Amino acid sequence: MATNPMHQFNVYKIGPEIKINGVDLSFTNSSLFMLLSAVFIFLFLLFGTRQKKIIPGKIQLISEMLYDFITKMINDTAGKKAKPYFPFIFSLFIFVLFCNMIGMLPYSFTVTSHIIVTLAFAMFIFIGVTILGFVIHGFKYLKIFVPSGVPIVLLPIIMIIEIISYLSRPVSLSVRLFANMMAGHTMLKVFGGFVISLGLIAGWLPLTFSVALTGLEILVAFLQAYVFAILTCIYLNDALNLHH
Amino acid sequence: MTEKEDLETRLKIAKSKLDNKNTKENKKEGIFLGNAFKLGTELVAAVAVGVIIGFILDNWFGTKPLLIILFFLLGSAAGIFNVIKAAKKMQQK
């Protein structure tokens, strides 16, 4: 096994190289793990909803709790108007969650530890929400750059600041998820390397750290998926209910 | 009949217990931790976006160091703005 802690983030091709119009569309380990998490989600929800008992079994209970959790989150942050967007937010949350959690298994690959993946999610959300805002409110949507109760002298500066803060949304959304996942996995690998190099005498100390860090990483994996989903709800709320 | 009623009352009690628990403990801790993770990147991202805009505009107009400095400052302001907004939202809850 490689001792380089960054080795785990390597993307390599599986199978033949596929090129269409000069665009590399080869199947990589990243796509394999995305596919795997999609399959896991499908199986999990299929088993969870196959038998609809009054007193639910374990899998049914978990999937019902997930449904409840997301419904509550959307209601609390974006209100009733956001109900039609439930499928999108639910699939976003559960996909990020499963990618993070599958990344916690040994020898696996964490899809969300690459900024291009998270940035693609974030740009999709950002562009989608912006289009949604313009479709619902028309040009009134530009009002979110003009906060009420600001003196006219300060207005140009405030507007530029507001525009920068609006443009920073996809960056903060994607960097947060990517940085948390990459930092956590690198740290786990570094501590794992310490265990080997310190050997039987002093290796126990980093081993205990490693165990604790694994627990922390599972928490972070869940929390980052949650934060990703809740921020999507907040941006959606800004686009649906225009008040500043 | 009695069995069904028994089950219903037990369900009601269990539900009310669950509701209390949800509102009191689990929910708040999760939200606070999530918010704590949020604030740091909120600040940095705005500064980064400001610098990138400044850099692009500088290349456009050929005013090399001027606009990047200006937009760095504006980006920092936007970052602090973001954090204040997020903190205000936290206090509402």
Please tell me the distance in Å from A202's CA to the nearest CA on chain B: 33
Cβ-nearest to A161 among B45, B78, B89: B78
**In terms of residue numbers, what domain contains B88?**
2-92
* Chain A residue set in contact with B, beta carbons under 8 Å: 157, 160-162, 164-165, 167-169, 171-172, 175-176, 179-180, 223-224, 226-227, 230-231, 234
pLDDT bucket at B25, cuts 50 / 70 / 90: very low
CA quadruple A106, A111, A116, A119: dihedral sign: negative
Smallest CA-to-CA distance from A129 within A178, A98, A159, A173 is with: A173
Which residue in B has a C-alpha nearest to residue A224's C-alpha? B34
Number of domains in chain B: 1
**Which residues have a Cβ under 8 Å from the Cβ of B54 and sit 6 or more positions away?**
B67, B68, B69, B70, B71, B72, B75
DSSP state of B22: I
Cβ-nearest to B34 among A160, A161, A226: A226
Look at residue A2 in the predicted model and tell me its pLDDT.
Answer: 54
Q: Which residue carries 């995305």 as its tokens?
A: A34
> Coil, strand, or helix at residue A12?
coil
> Coil, strand, or helix at residue A24?
strand
Smallest CA-to-CA distance from B86 within B29, B43, B26, B30 is with: B43
User: Per the domain annotation, does A30 fall within a domain?
Assistant: yes
Half-sphere exposure of A153 (CA within 13 A, CB side): 0
Look at residue B20 in the predicted model and tell me its pLDDT.
Answer: 65
Q: How many C-beta atoms lie closer than 10 Å to residue A163's C-beta?
A: 17
Which residue in B has a C-alpha nearest to residue A231's C-alpha? B38
Using a CB-CB cut-off of 8 Å, the residues of chain B touching A164 are: 46, 49-50, 53, 71, 74-75, 78
Binary contact (A161, B74; C-beta < 8 A): yes
Look at residue B15 in the predicted model and tell me its pLDDT.
Answer: 79
pLDDT means over runs of 10, chain A (244 residues): 74 81 84 92 88 80 89 85 90 93 89 91 94 89 82 86 89 90 90 86 88 91 90 88 69
Number of domains in chain A: 1
Residues A141/A134, Cβ–Cβ less than 8 Å? yes
pLDDT digits over B34-79, tens only?
667 678 888 888 999 999 999 999 998 888 888 899 999 999 999 9
CA quadruple B75, A179, A4, A188: dihedral sign: positive
Binary contact (B71, A165; C-beta < 8 A): no
Q: How many C-beta atoms lie closer than 10 Å to residue A198's C-beta?
A: 14
User: Per the domain annotation, does A54 fall within a domain?
Assistant: yes
Smallest CA-to-CA distance from A36 within A88, A87, A93, A105 is with: A105
Residue B24 has pLDDT above 50, yes or no: no
Give the angle A221-A222-A226 at the CA atoms, nearest 5°: 120
**In terms of residue numbers, what domain contains A148?**
7-240
d(C-alpha B18, C-alpha A91), whole Å: 26
Binary contact (A175, B44; C-beta < 8 A): yes
A225 is written with which tokens? Answer: 């998926």
Q: Give me chain B's average pLDDT, please.
A: 79
Mind giving me the DSSP string for A75-120?
Answer: HHHH-GGGGGGHHHHHHHHHHHHHHHHHHTSTT---GGGSHHHHHH
- Give alpha helix (H) positions in B1-93: 2-21, 27-61, 64-92
**Which residues have a Cβ under 8 Å from the Cβ of A49 and sit 6 or more positions away?**
A60, A63
d(C-alpha A31, C-alpha A11), whole Å: 9
Tell me the whole-structure pTM to 2 decimals.
0.81
**Looking at the DSSP assignment, which residues form a beta bridge with residue A28?**
A13
Look at residue A98 in the predicted model and tell me its pLDDT.
Answer: 93
User: Per the domain annotation, does A77 fall within a domain?
Assistant: yes
DSSP state of B23: I
Cβ-nearest to A160 among B45, B74, B82: B74
Cβ-nearest to A168 among B37, B38, B78: B78
Residue B87 has pLDDT above 50, yes or no: yes
